[in-house]
Amino acid sequence: MHTRVATHSISIRSILQDAKFNGVKIFQCVLWADGNKQYQVYYKGTCPLTCDYVLEYLKCPAAQVYFYLIKQGVPKDEADWVIKKCFNHVQVLKV
């Protein structure tokens, strides 16, 4: 049985705000940046290891969100649909 994941029930912002490294949330703020399905995140930290993690995470936030959804039990086809709906073409191609 597949259940359609309604876009209004999934907040990409809340998923990104829940991103953690070593048990600590990494983004203080996540904003919808523009109409091109891009998000703007704010990270305020000085730990070199965490900074490296954030840089890698931000290379493809769509992939990070995709795997988060899969880990939460969202069926693959539904996770694909959400990523295509919520991220730009460049990010979708990286997943």
Q: pLDDT grade, residue 72 (50/70/90)?
A: confident
Q: pLDDT grade, residue 9 (50/70/90)?
A: low
Which pLDDT value is given to residue 70?
A: 92
16 phi, psi to nearest 5 deg: -65, -40
The mean per-residue pLDDT over the stretch 30-58 comes to 81
pLDDT at 37 over 90: no
Which pLDDT value is given to residue 47?
A: 86
Which pLDDT value is given to residue 66?
A: 94
